[in-house]
Amino acid sequence: MKKKYKLDEIDCANCALKLEDAIKEVKGVSNVKVNYMMQKMTLEAEDAFFPEVEKNVMAVCKRMEPDMDVTAV
């Protein structure tokens, strides 16, 4: 499954790269792209595990960028 998210208030391109690298380490993530300029993230994971993976990814986002809002699009 592939899902896209809007990232509001991500601080900088370096933060986006660090966030992408951290999300890649989440178990079950098959691919992730964080685009700072577009303020978007694309997350891919197996359908069966997607809800759990998404929950873990959101926890990483909140830990690394507490002021950032993540909204599914």
pLDDT over threshold 90, residue 11: no
Tens digits of per-residue pLDDT, 50-62?
999 999 999 999 9
Domains along the chain? 2-72 (3.30.70.100)
Contacts of 58 (CB under 8 A, 6+ apart): 70
Q: What is the pTM of this model?
A: 0.94
Percent pLDDT > 70 in the chain is 100
pLDDT at 45: 98
pLDDT in tens, 62-71: 999 999 999 9
Average pLDDT (22-30) is 98
